[in-house]
Structure 1
Amino acid sequence: MSHPEPGERHHEDFSTRHAPMPIELPIDDEEASTDVDLKTQLVRFVVTGAGSGVLDFGLTYLLQGAVGFPPWLAKAFGFILGTTTAYLINRRWTFRAEPSTARFIAVMSLYLVTFLVQVGLYALLMHLWSHTFIYSLLAYGIAQGTATVINFVVQRAVIFKIR
């Protein structure tokens, strides 16, 4: 294995036998730190979530409507695109944290948990309420809001403190 010339930067994955890091966005990490204030993190988290949600829904709708995938498979691909995008942007922009395989695995585990909370809460509320558009929208908002709060709190307090 060759080593970089003095002054050259190299990625840690190329100097160890660990699994490669996930794909990273081409955003400058020079100021990476977890010292971003709560208000800034919250605003960035919401903006990132909204954009990632558009990607999730867009791919889901495209695969289901235009390509003919079954809804569950289309949603699985949309969820993977949306959550991966959210992780990459939140790691660099919202929480300004260094890359970490452990953090990536922790975020993906959290996304699985919040996905289950979201689907479970939505299903429970729809079981208890009538199936009108207003109640469906309200159940979706409550389920999504609950999952978003859990997601933000755990990422801020735990995951983006992992080194």
Structure 2
Amino acid sequence: MSEEQQHQPESPHEEFESPHAPMPIELPLDDQEASTNVDLKTQIIRFIVTGVGSGVLDFGLTLILQYGVGAPEWLAKTCGWILGTTAAYLVNRRWTFRATPSARRFIAVALLYLCTFGIQVGIYSGLAQVWPERPIYSLFAYVIAQGTATVINFVVQRMVIFKIE
């Protein structure tokens, strides 16, 4: 018997099995090499798609905490922001801007997000003081606050942060 005949896989997928730990899950959205050379139209579309998904996480948690748990609007918005922003950074770095991980980029994004966090929570809380406390007004305040932060985030990330090598 030849060596090849002696070792037949027990299962049809045995040759793909590995004794090593599995790799962490990556976003199956883009299989190209990391590169900051993504055209503007593609980046804008991806940024919007990412922003909508992250916004759903952010606003959903904000509403749950504010109306379901009774947390003050600033605390609810802060928790929602942390969840949404973390998701947005991870997806935007990998998919929107196709950038490799970088400590400098991470620090730059963290500083930018802290600035836009202040702007966003300030707008949301300020409008909450002016408008009646109802979910529909909270939605309007969220959209205005998030829209302002989104424009600032996209411009700074595209023009500065994801140009950092």
The equivalent of 1:38 in structure 2 is 40
Count of residue correspondences: 137
Whether the 8 Å contact between 2:59 and 2:142 is mirrored in structure 1 is no
- Measured against aligned partners, the alpha-carbon deviations of 1:83-128 in whole angstroms (never above 9, x if no partner) come to 000000000010000001221121121111112223334566788x
Q: CA RMSD in A?
A: 3.0
Residues 115, 38 of structure 1: CA spacing in aligned structure 2 closer, same or farther, 3 A cutoff? same
- Measured against aligned partners, the alpha-carbon deviations of 1:120-163 in whole angstroms (never above 9, x if no partner) come to 34566788xx7478987766544432221111000001111122
- Residue 75 of structure 1 and its aligned partner are, at CA, apart by 2.7
Helix, strand or coil for the counterpart of 1:51? helix
The equivalent of 2:90 in structure 1 is 88
Say if 2:97 is the partner of 1:105: no
State how far apart, in whole Å, the 2-side matches of 1:142 and 1:110 are. 18
Whether the 8 Å contact between 1:29 and 1:98 is mirrored in structure 2 is no
- Measured against aligned partners, the alpha-carbon deviations of 1:26-45 in whole angstroms (never above 9, x if no partner) come to 13665210111001100110
Residues 116, 153 of structure 1: CA spacing in aligned structure 2 closer, same or farther, 3 A cutoff? same
The equivalent of 1:147 in structure 2 is 149
Moved more, 108-117 or 24-33: 24-33
Please report the TM-score for the alignment, with normalisation by the length of structure 1: 0.68
The correspondence for 1:117, drawn from 110, 116, 119, is 119
State how far apart, in whole Å, the 2-side matches of 1:64 and 1:39 are. 36
Find the structure with the greater CA-based Rg.
2
Whether the 8 Å contact between 1:36 and 1:96 is mirrored in structure 2 is yes
The equivalent of 1:20 in structure 2 is none
Question: What percent of counterpart residues are identical?
Answer: 69
Matches within 5 A, 1:121-140: 121=123, 131=131, 140=142
Letter paired with 2:26: P
- Measured against aligned partners, the alpha-carbon deviations of 1:44-73 in whole angstroms (never above 9, x if no partner) come to 10110110011112223334444x362343
The equivalent of 1:70 in structure 2 is 71
State how far apart, in whole Å, the 2-side matches of 1:84 and 1:73 are. 17
Residues 25, 87 of structure 1: CA spacing in aligned structure 2 closer, same or farther, 3 A cutoff? farther
**Runs of 5+ in structure 2 lacking a partner?**
1-23
Helix, strand or coil for the counterpart of 1:35? coil
State how far apart, in whole Å, the 1-side matches of 2:55 and 2:25 are. 18
